[in-house]
Every structure is written in structure tokens, then in C-alpha cells.
Structure 1
């Protein structure tokens, strides 16, 4: 997959089959749409192009609203789209100026002139242009004028996408990780850099790597203990040109923790992982943590000894779960 950080860098391709959207989660609903996109491209011997926007439009148009939480970072989204077999990913910087285009200008200047769209695969409810005034009817009206065709995504497929995105977020917030993963079609993940913590885990015999998540918009699952799979990866970055996924080193099974460590009077949320059978220094390294099972909620224990005993039980539970869930 080729990635373009700006639409100006994209060179129009022959028979571009295009879809547009945020595609947050790239979940099973999205995957169905992308499968249709690939099949449509085969029909006209074309190439698939996905146009997405970053930052998310809500971040720009409603900066006072800090409630937006996304399932994917832009890097994670690229990783999943590459797995779906998309040929070209255009990540367009979303600005207020961009949002002020008329529907006709957007179709002519973006979809036709800059992408070379020959077929657009889009939902019945897709909106674009100034004040979201553009719609499917505009795309259909200008199709014969600008020489492209429109393939409408059925309403039932769009509704499935909406329901899935909503259910994924709700499930993650409630700690229902297995439900979220079933809608995603892959394990939910967090990627972060290992930073120094209070070293409480090391003192009680369960050393943990504390993760710093750079993206404030990334949705963090419910507080609690999780069964996880952890990979050490190269630092995450996207470069223009051919997509090269981050190299994953050896994978480890482990315990994941999200919470405030109430038993030791913690107040700040931390995200920690205890890797089974790994004892080297992880400071400064980037970890990709895949959440597989929710084990229990984060609670305050009456004593440190009681907490240590429970963590030991958690470890047994997680090792039993992962012994047949991971290969």
C-alpha cells in the first residue's frame, strides 16, 4: 500500500476506484465495504484509493469539544487498511479552509482533478463540502459531467457500520474486550513508549512496563486487569511512498493493567504490562499491546499482601487463558 500525507503528493492513477471516510476501527463493517471496493476495482482493471482525513473533522470544526475518542490512531488505521489490501491511502490534512469548499468544487478539484476518480463507492448518507451540504445526489448529478460512475453502498451495510462503531466504543468503555474484538475482527490494541514508573510492580515481584500513549484522542479501555499479547516494535511512523509496517520482534504473553493503583494510594491513571518470561530493559522501546481478555476490575485491597496474592491468582488465570488462545 502506498501512503500519501497530502493529496498534492498523489499522482492520479488509471481507473481509480475511490471511497471516502474516517474508517475508524477498520472493523468488520468497514472490511465489507473495502471488499466491495476491491471487487469494483477488479471489474474495471483499476486501483483502489481510500481518502481519509486527519485530524478528525470534529477536532477542527469543534475544538471546544474534547470528548472525541477514536478506536485507531492514524498509524494503526494505516496498518489495518494495508491488511485489507488497499492500493493507495491518502491522508488529507483537514482544515477549516478545506471544509469550506462547495460540493461542485470538491468533486471537480479533489475527486476528479487530484485523484482521477473513475468510480466512487460511497454510502447513501455521505456528506461533504461546506456545511455538509453535498450528498449522494450531487455525486450522481456531476457523474456524467466529470466522467465517473457512482456505486452506492446499500443502506443496510451503512447501518451495520454505524452500529459496529458505536458498539465497539461502548464495549471498550465497559471492559467487554471480547465483544469489541468480535466487531473489530482483530484484537484491540494500544501502542506506546515505555517510560519510568514508580517501580511498585518490581518491588512486589511483578515488574511492569509503564506505557505513555501520545495520542490524547485514543480510546483507553475500562480500568482493570487484562490478558494481553505484547510485541516490541520499531518506533511508529508513516512515510510517503510504499507502506512498510513496523517490524515486530518476538511476541510475549502477559498481564495488562489500566487503573490508578488505589491500593498504593495512586491517583493518576497508568497503563502497565507485565511480560511473562522477559527480563531485559524496555525503557524507551515501543510496545504494541493487544487486549485479548478482560479478567477483573481495578479494585482497592485492604493490604499490599492481599493485592500481591490476587495478582498471583490473576497471573495463573491469564496463563491458563493464553496457553490455548495464542500460538
Structure 2
């Protein structure tokens, strides 16, 4: 059974083999590294340990933190790491004091004294410590402190190096289908259903207004998407509109997420909902009137249902 730790005071693992980083998205590149981590742990008769940090260092260090959006919440990240079969997850609170440590001090005080690491796996482009050491500067430290290490990567997925930065750009641009290839799953948002103006009911397309749980979670580009909806323990197909609803609200500047769930007609206010993005079908459009919007939504529904059928999604 996986153990999740935020305090290393009583941490205990057998011959720990460690990988560390933010692991935002827990994407295909991360998953390939985690496979090496598990393999190495088995070879050394040890246990796999992922050391990650929260909050994100850019928030703590105020490095463009206002623009930072994440692929995974802390809950999602730990869940995906657990599903990857890791023995231990350490979520280390990131502070300015921690950021001030040199790589050597961090290795000595945390990886060796507290975790008692035997082996370290480092991504090919990973840098750490206040001095920002990279893979080429690990050798003298490994000799001095008697640990071994491997450098992992880069790995390729359909000709692309998976990275959190690349995937964020894809989702920001609305390319959720491309992002899903690098993630190894569909990108998703979790939130609560909140009350709206109920105008969707008047045109035959009632929607659930979704309020996102975490303000740091990246929301895809405005537009209409085919989606899978997890609600009340079941999966449904649906289509979601992200944007300012210009036909109804004009240019309000207020973004909303409204999902029409196919073959569903229940009052679900305050319920938790998860939306998985399958494909963006069109940008958000301002229509001259509600009838024009209704006619377009009929076409959207046909297109989205076909996409869901092609991808084996309910709906």
C-alpha cells in the first residue's frame, strides 16, 4: 500500500530509490521515468520514492506566479503517482528557506539524512538547489556522499518530447487532443455544479455551470469541446462551452464553463463533477439571436456525438 508523507520525521523506506521534481501533469515522460524508478528499486531490493513539492516554487519565489497555471492539483498529482505504482510519495512543503539550500545541502539534509537514499534518478534537464546544479555536477557529490544515480531521458512520444510546458501550451491553445497523447489520458477539470441563469433550458440545451475547485488549475482555450462527464458515479457524454457567452452576456469579460450532459435530466446543484476534454470542435461564436444559437447547438450536438462514438465515449 502506498504511503504519502508530508513530514519526514518518521519516514521509513527500505533502500530508498528516489526521483524528485514537480511532476506537474504526471505525463508520459514522467511515467517512463517512474518505470525506471520502479525497475531500479526492484534491482536494488529497495522501495521507490517520489519526492515532489507544494506549493509550486514559482509561487513561493514570486516568479511570474500570477501567470502560472498547473496541469494537476495536488490531489490529482498524488493520485496519478499512486496509480503508477510508487511505494512512497513525499510532498515536501516548498519554502524560501528550502529554496536557499545548495544542492549539496539538500542532498545531505534531506535525501541522505532524512530519506536515507541509496540511489537517485534525475531527469536529463532537471536542475535543483539554489546553485542550480545539473546532471554533469552530480558525479563528485555522488562520490563524496556515497550514493549512485542514473540520468533519465529524454523520451519521445510520437516525435515530441513530453514536458509540462509543452502540454500547458497545447491546452492553452485548445489542442486537448494533442495534449492527451503526451499526457497518456484526457485532460480533466474537477469542480462543483453551481446555479446559473437557466437560459439553456429555454432553448433545449440545459447546462451545468461548473465552478473549478482550484484557481491554479489550467482551463483550456475558449470554445466548444466534446467531453466525457463523471457525475454521480456514472460516465456521460457531453459538450462544454468555455468562454464569455457573448450571445447572452455580450463582452462581459467573465469566463464560464457550461456543460450540456447528453441523456441526463436531474437537478445536481452542488454535486462534484469531473469533465474530461476529448476534442475542441469550434471557437466561441457570438450569434445574432437565441434561435441562431439553438440551431448551431443542434449541429454541435451531432458533431460531438459522432466524435464520442468514434472514441468509444458514452453519449
- Please confirm whether the aligned pair reaches a TM-score higher than 0.5, indicating the same fold: yes
C-alpha distance in 2 between matches for 1:30 and 1:10: 27
Match of 1:309 in 2: 295
Q: Which deviates further from its counterpart, 268-277 or 143-152?
A: 143-152
Match of 1:277 in 2: 263
Q: What is the CA-CA distance between 1:174 and the residue it aligns to?
A: 1.7
What secondary structure sits across from 2:310 in the alignment?
helix
Match of 1:168 in 2: 167
What secondary structure sits across from 1:8 in the alignment?
coil
Match of 2:4 in 1: 4
Whose relative contact order is higher, 1 or 2, with alpha carbons under 8 Å and at least 6 apart? 1
Indicate if the aligned counterparts of 1:259 and 1:270 stay in contact, CA closer than 8 A.
yes
Change in 2 beyond 3 A, CA 1:256/1:82: same
Q: TM-score scaled to structure 2, two decimals?
A: 0.91
Indicate if the aligned counterparts of 2:8 and 2:115 stay in contact, CA closer than 8 A.
no
Match of 2:113 in 1: 113
Indicate if the aligned counterparts of 2:60 and 2:96 stay in contact, CA closer than 8 A.
yes
Give aligned pairs, total. 310
Change in 2 beyond 3 A, CA 1:161/1:80: farther
Match of 2:74 in 1: 74
Q: What is the CA-CA distance between 1:324 and the residue it aligns to?
A: 3.4
2:7 paired with 1:21: no
What secondary structure sits across from 2:85 in the alignment?
coil
Show CA shifts across 1:286-315 (max 9, x none): 111100111111000011100011111111
Q: What is the CA-CA distance between 1:316 and the residue it aligns to?
A: 1.4
Change in 2 beyond 3 A, CA 1:211/1:290: same
Change in 2 beyond 3 A, CA 1:64/1:88: same
5+ long unaligned stretches in structure 1: 234-248
C-alpha distance in 1 between matches for 2:56 and 2:190: 19
What secondary structure sits across from 2:119 in the alignment?
strand
The alignment yields a C-alpha RMSD, in angstroms, of 2.2
Change in 2 beyond 3 A, CA 1:9/1:291: farther
2:169 paired with 1:185: no
C-alpha distance in 2 between matches for 1:325 and 1:128: 41
2:295 paired with 1:296: no
Q: Which deviates further from its counterpart, 51-60 or 136-145?
A: 136-145
Map 1:224-235; keep pairs closer than 5 Å. 224-232=223-231
C-alpha distance in 1 between matches for 2:192 and 2:77: 18
C-alpha distance in 2 between matches for 1:105 and 1:37: 23
Match of 2:246 in 1: 262
Change in 2 beyond 3 A, CA 1:64/1:187: closer
Show CA shifts across 1:102-144 (max 9, x none): 32321111001211211100134432222x3444355432324
Show CA shifts across 1:67-115 (max 9, x none): 1111111112122212221121111111101111232321111001211
Indicate if the aligned counterparts of 1:10 and 1:115 stay in contact, CA closer than 8 A.
no
Map 1:123-202; keep pairs closer than 5 Å. 123-130=123-130, 132-137=131-136, 139-154=138-153, 156-157=154-155, 164-202=163-201
